[in-house]
Amino acid sequence: GYTRELSWKDVKKRCNELKLNTVPEICEFTYDGDIEQLKTKIGFMLDRPSVLDSSHVEEGVCLRVEYDKMDIYKEKGYFYRVLAGIAKEEGKSDMEEAS
């Protein structure tokens, strides 16, 4: 009945022990307080084909912040948001909103 957050290093180690794949790790970096540089870096990761399937646009990236505590922030790509909006207009359900 408790939760224990693992560092990314420990997540990768545990997945390796269980013979599981982690989500794709795009890059690792240390944030230096330059928000514009961070936005540029994230934008570069979003405006390209998906790392999982190059025939699809990148849905989004998660930024995992490990400091005093662990937080995860997600940014969805512009092109993905446009396509998701078009799909909703055509009456197709959004799996994320349905859950």
pLDDT in tens, 60-76: 999 999 888 889 999 98
Q: Would the pLDDT of 91 be above 60?
A: no
**E-strand stretches of the chain:** 60-66, 70-76
In the prediction, which pLDDT does 89 show?
53
Round to whole Å and give the CA distance between 35 and 41: 10
Q: What is the mean pLDDT of the chain?
A: 85
Answer yes or no: is pLDDT of 92 > 60.
no
- For 3, 10, 12, 40, 96, the CA distances from 75, given in Å and listed in that order, are 25, 24, 22, 12, 14
Report residue 13's pLDDT band, with 50, 70 and 90 as the boundaries. Answer: very high
Model confidence at 42: pLDDT above 80: yes
At residue 72, φ and ψ (nearest 5 deg) are -125, 130
